[in-house]
Chain A
Amino acid sequence: MFGQNLEVQLSSAKTEDTTVVWKSFHDSITLIVLSSEEGTSELRLERLLQMVFGAMVLLVGLEELTNIRNVERLKKELRASYRLIDSFLGDSELIGDLTQCVDCVVPPEGSLLQEALSGFAEAAGTAFVSLVVSGRVVAATESWWRLGMPEAVLLPWLVGSLPPQAARDYPVYLPHGSPTVPHRLLTLTLLPGLELCLLCGPRPPLSQLDAQLLERWWQPLLDPLRACLPLGSRALPAGFPLHTDILGLLLLHLELKRCLFTVEPSGDKEPSSEQRRRLFRSFYTLVTATHFAPEPGQPEEKAEEVVHRAQVPRACYLVLGAEEPGTGWRLVALQLGPRRLLLLLSAQSPTHGLRGLATHTLHALTPLL
């Protein structure tokens, strides 16, 4: 605040054990976050603030936040966003808040689902339809995939954070696409945990998406739909071959802005799922901020540089907690074109083979994302 008077921009501060980051939005709202979490980075906190503001816009609209007529009323309205904001502060199974890529899963029989989705979208009269399981996108129409940030991440995340309901008709403001004019987010729980999401204007009314319509398009696909239920934490279809040393993977497609994230492989081994997620978050931040910066699509880059970079794979790795040789988790990151793969590997995995393993895995995953 002092800095602004002197035209200096201060964006963060650090003490011995706390990091403070703040961001001002539209000259109206300032968000401040303090974190004493070990290994927290500014990148993480900055992206957190972007998500939090996005959540506020999503549920209250930009107009209310920039044109504040009654502060008490705004505070009351913002309570609607508390649950969503809390979910960003806790230990989420999703990682889209940090990576700014939509958490996805790969369904078996994806083309069947895709076809049904398109047909249903036409019947319902909207272009924006997706199938979401536990906050991750299983399949979506073209138009849905083209949603901008942060709503592409916020919408499935919101759906995954709500208590179970058969159907919903929620007004939402899209921070990027439509921050002042609300749309309707309709959700329909086909099976517990699996929801059909539609983004609509004033039509269709919720009652139009009735039992008959659902039966026609989705009852015939009951088995493939059921097969999607365990995908939430697994992300990949059952039986997908992964090296036994792999304890977790995060695959990002930086152009499509989608990611696959799972810490389920060899789930019975150390470290715990929670620890693995934390390791991935720290490693992602390290890789993004330090080793692989900047991400593709930056306007400052010249065309030749982009082409050159796209052809040369880059990699880095890290070994954590290695008190003796043969111990310590291995984290390896590999970038090839628009794809960036991060792997968590067990202590047994030989360090000289990390790059090969990562390359092999990336090639196997490439057809999926």
Chain B
Amino acid sequence: MARLPAPGSVIVPDWHETAEGKEYLACILRKNRRRVFGLLERPVLPPPVAIDTASYKIFVSGKSGVGKTALVAKLAGLEVPVVHHETTGIQTTVVFWPAKLQASDRVVMFRFEFWDCGESALKKFDHMLPACQEKTDAFLFLFSFTDRASFEDLPGQLARVAGEAPGVVRLVIGSKFDQYMHTDVPERDLTAFRQAWELPLLRVKSVPGRRLADGRTLDGRAGLADIAHVLNGLAEQLWHQDQVAAGLLPNPPEDPPS
């Protein structure tokens, strides 16, 4: 397994807050609202600029109710459903994210296609899990800080869902991190998990999205600031994995067991 890139080593972190970054972000924002793109559309940059698009398929996995659909909605800048309705089948959401590479100073447009499926649908219908696993570039494993069982389920998820896919990025995300008063997953357990599995782990808060002055429309810019670290983290892992697969980076031998 390739060594994980150090955070911020592949993608320039906080670049989206620089003047240059904000200019690029304008292609996915319009007046502080996140733009929604249909499948026939893509973000348009001003004419002289032409950047490459890197497309990735990401499967979001986790116990029912842990917040998969909500996380994807947050990443896409869409309304997070207030009431939990278990996802009926497979749903996909596309998120565009311009990011700057450290090595070449080049800006790349990342196109993330998140696949999300309800747990009972996965169990009931045979075709769904293979459809989600097929040609996936990354698995996102979600647990909730307020649901111990979802954290303990992670090894099982990892085996069941990503077991036979070496070379595919695996990332763990803990949601509802804001509810630290009720957390069922203390820091030491996270550390132990990290050491055992050597997987990148990110945390996301599950607070309601901020609104614009009208009180109704979601503030797209503020929303992006909340989850930029996830999109950057994902971009980083995926870009790094691509480089390794292309033979552009050395693949170090396995670490000796500690």
| Complex contact B40–A170 (CB within 8 A) | no
A225 to chain B, nearest CB (A): 7
Contacting residues, chain A, for B9 (C-beta < 8 A): none
**B94 at the A interface (CB under 8 A):** yes
- The SS class assigned to the A binding surface is mixed
From B113, which residue of chain A is reached at the shortest CB distance? A166
B102 at the interface (CB under 8 A from A): no
Cα–Cα, bound, A272→B36 (Å): 29
The answer on a CB contact under 8 Å between A169 and B78 is no
Residues from chain B with a CB closer than 8 A to the CB of A317 are none
| Contacts of B56-104 to chain A: CB distance below 8 A | 73, 78-79, 81, 85-86, 88-94
* A219 and B40 within 8 A (CB): yes
A79-B86, A169-B90, A171-B121 are contacts. A164–B36 as well, Cβ < 8 Å?
yes
Cβ of B120 under 8 Å from chain A: yes
Query: Which residues in window 66-95 of A have CB below 8 A to B?
Result: 77, 79-80, 82-83
Q: In the complex the two chains form, is A207's CB within 8 Å of B40's CB?
A: no
Interface residue total, chain B, C-beta cutoff 8 A = 29
Which of A166, A171, A202 is in CB contact (< 8 Å) with B88?
Answer: A171
Please state if A214 and B40 are interface contacts (CB–CB under 8 Å). yes
- Complex interface: chain B residues within 8 A of A82 (CB): 85
Docked-complex contact A222 and B40, CB < 8 angstroms = yes
In the assembled complex, how far is the CB of residue B215 from the closest CB belonging to chain A, in whole angstroms? 20
Chain A, residue nearest B69 (CB): A163
- Least CB distance from A56 to B in Å reads 13
For A166, the chain B residues whose CB sits under 8 A away are 38-39, 92-94, 113
* Residues on the B chain within 8 Å of A205, using CB: 127, 131, 134
Q: Which residues of A contact B86 (CB under 8 A)?
A: 79-80
A39 within 8 A of B: no
Select B91's contact among A167, A215, A222, beta carbons within 8 Å: A167
Of A79, A80, A206, which is within 8 A of B131 by CB? Answer: A206
Residues of A within 8 A of B88 (CB): 59, 80, 170-171
Q: Which of A8-16, A44-52, A185-193, A240-248 contacts B (4 or more CB under 8 A)?
A: A185-193
CA distance A28 to B78 in the complex (A): 39
Structural contact, A192 and B128, CB atoms closer than 8 A: no
Q: Does the CB pair B125–A171 fall under 8 Å?
A: yes
Q: What's the nearest-Cβ distance from chain B to residue A166, in Å? A: 5
Contacts of A192 in B (CB 8 A): 36-38
A83 to B85, CA, bound (A): 8
| Interface secondary structure of B, over-half rule | loop
- Nearest Cβ in chain A — how far from B159, in angstroms? 24
Q: Which of A59, A190, A206 contacts B92 (CB 8 A)?
A: A206
Kindly supply a per-residue 1/0 record for chain A positions 129-171, scoring 1 wherever the CB is within 8 Å of any chain B CB and 0 otherwise. Answer: 0000000000000000000000000000000000111111111
Q: Are B39 and A214 in contact (CB under 8 A)?
A: yes
Expressed in whole angstroms, the Cα–Cα distance for A202 and B91 within the complex equals 17
Q: Which bucket holds chain A's interface residue count?
A: 35 or more
Interchain CB contact under 8 A, B91 and A165 = yes
B41 CB–A CB distance under 8 Å: yes
* B148 CB-CB contact with A under 8 Å: no
Q: Say if the beta carbon of B106 comes within 8 Å of chain A.
A: no
* Contact between chains at A170 and B89 (CB < 8 Å): yes
Tell me whether B38 and A211 are in contact (CB under 8 A): no
Taking a contact as CB atoms under 8 Å apart, the answer to whether A189 and B38 are in contact is: yes
Q: How many angstroms between the C-alpha atoms of A191 and B38 in the bound complex?
A: 4
Q: Is B135 an interface residue when CB atoms closer than 8 A count as contact?
A: yes
B-side contacts of A237, CB under 8 Å: none
For the complex, what is the distance from the CA of A99 to the CA of B245, rounded to whole Å? 58
Q: Which of A77, A170, A171, A194 contacts B38 (CB 8 A)?
A: A194
Bound-complex Cα distance A164 to B95 (A) = 13
**Counting CB contacts under 8 A, is A182 at the interface?**
yes
Answer yes or no: A218 CB below 8 A from chain B CBs.
yes
Q: Which residues of B contact A214 (CB under 8 A)?
A: 39-40
Residues B39 and A167 in contact, CB atoms below 8 Å apart: yes
- Shortest Cβ distance from residue B6 to the other chain A in the assembled complex, whole angstroms: 32
A190 surroundings in chain B (CB, below 8 A):
38-40
- In-complex Cβ contact of A189 among B39, B127, B128, B131 (8 A): B39
Task: Report yes or no: A207 in contact with B134, Cβ–Cβ below 8 A.
Answer: yes
Closest to B37 in A: A192
B120 touches A77 (CB 8 A): yes
Provide the bound-state CA to CA distance between A171 and B128, in Å: 10
Interfacial chain B residues near A83, Cβ < 8 Å: 85
CA distance A43 to B97 in the complex (A): 51
The answer for the CA separation of A219 and B40 in the assembled complex, in Å, is 7
**Contact A79/B39 with A166-B94, A167-B91 known, Cβ cut-off 8 Å:** no
26 A–B contact pairs at CB < 8 A?
A59-B88, A79-B86, A80-B86, A82-B85, A83-B85, A163-B73, A163-B78, A164-B36, A164-B78, A166-B92, A166-B93, A169-B90, A171-B88, A171-B125, A189-B38, A190-B38, A190-B39, A190-B40, A191-B38, A192-B38, A202-B127, A206-B92, A206-B131, A207-B131, A211-B39, A222-B40
User: Which 9 interchain pairs have the tightest Cβ spacing?
Assistant: A170-B89, A191-B38, A169-B90, A167-B92, A165-B91, A166-B94, A192-B36, A166-B92, A168-B91
Besides A168-B90, A202-B127, 19 other A-B contacts (C-beta < 8 A): A79-B85, A163-B78, A163-B79, A163-B81, A165-B91, A165-B93, A166-B92, A167-B91, A171-B88, A171-B89, A171-B124, A171-B125, A185-B89, A189-B38, A189-B39, A190-B40, A192-B36, A206-B92, A214-B39
